[in-house]
């Protein structure tokens, strides 16, 4: 029977690339998209259709548990099952420590950490035994620290512990839970010159990567696709870094 996946943050970047990868594998997708996202989720639908797949868009704010529950229910209502959940939604905001208010901290964690919990919790309640989940962390927090982004890094570091614990808890049901840490990937988020590196910074960063460039969304999506496939049937509780070798290069 055809598998069904939910993906948060699917309007662009890694989320969109993953929906296309699933389409090519014959997996149907519910593309979770934030209403305030400036990227058109219909472009994800069109890309999926061009790849021969099926995709429906569902608006969701991962800060709202009821909306997250509705996303998981949409998979059941649309196609009668839920096999895969990918928590990919995230925000990125620069904030020096002196300007990092409690409200900014709480909002960041509500999306980038608690939003992951809500997504995986809701999916687990509706997922058939033997399903799989992946959460997307970041090289910032997952591996490195990042000045003026302490709230972001803290959230992304927390994702690792969350997924390891859920991997243990859900293993009796045969549900696997893994984490992917993207390095420098060319996405709308990393191309933001205000809160992230921007085009020039991303190009400069590519020179420090052993493979000599920043990664493409499809390259990160391919790893997620593997981790949620039968080929990774004995892989759970793991963290896979997709960074072109950046974190293993000895500083010079």
Rounded distance between C-alpha atoms, residue 75 and residue 93, angstroms: 31
Q: Which helix (H) or strand (E) holds 5?
A: strand 4-8
**Annotation marks residue 152 as catalytic:** yes
CB 29 within 8 A of CB 5: yes
Given 144, 152, 184, 234, the catalytic residue = 152
For the chain, helix, strand, coil in percent to 5 are 45, 15, 40
Question: Partners of 178 in the beta sheet?
Answer: 134
Going 98 to 182 to 217 to 60, the CA torsion angle's sign is negative
Nearest CA to 170 among 138, 123, 223, 137? Answer: 123
Rounded distance between C-alpha atoms, residue 146 and residue 150, angstroms: 7
Here the tokens at position 43 are 């472009």
Annotated catalytic residues are 152
């Amino acid at each position: 029977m055809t598998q069904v996946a939910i993906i948060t943050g699917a309007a662009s970047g890694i989320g969109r690339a993953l929906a296309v990868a699933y389409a090519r594998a014959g997996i149907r997708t519910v593309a979770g998209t934030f209403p305030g996202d400036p990227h058109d989720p219909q472009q994800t639908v069109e890309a999926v259709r061009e790849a021969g797949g099926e995709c429906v868009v569902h608006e969701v704010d991962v800060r709202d548990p009821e909306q997250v529950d509705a996303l998981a229910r949409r998979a059941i209502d649309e196609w009668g099952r839920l096999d895969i959940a990918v928590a990919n939604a995230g925000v990125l905001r620069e904030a020096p420590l002196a300007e990092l208010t409690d409200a900014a901290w709480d909002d960041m964690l509500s999306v980038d950490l608690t939003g992951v919990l809500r997504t995986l919790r809701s999916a687990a309640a509706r997922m058939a035994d033997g399903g799989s989940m992946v959460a997307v962390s970041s090289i910032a927090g997952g591996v490195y620290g990042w000045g003026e982004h302490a709230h972001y890094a803290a959230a992304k570091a927390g994702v690792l512990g969350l997924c390891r614990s859920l991997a243990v808890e859900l293993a009796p049901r045969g549900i696997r839970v893994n984490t992917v840490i993207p390095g420098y990937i060319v996405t709308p988020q990393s191309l933001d010159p205000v809160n992230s590196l921007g085009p020039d910074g991303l190009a400069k960063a590519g020179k420090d990567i052993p493979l000599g460039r920043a990664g493409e969304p499809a390259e990160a999506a391919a790893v997620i696709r593997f981790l949620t496939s039968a080929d990774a049937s004995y892989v759970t509780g793991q963290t896979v870094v997709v960074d072109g070798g950046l974190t293993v290069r000895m500083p010079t």
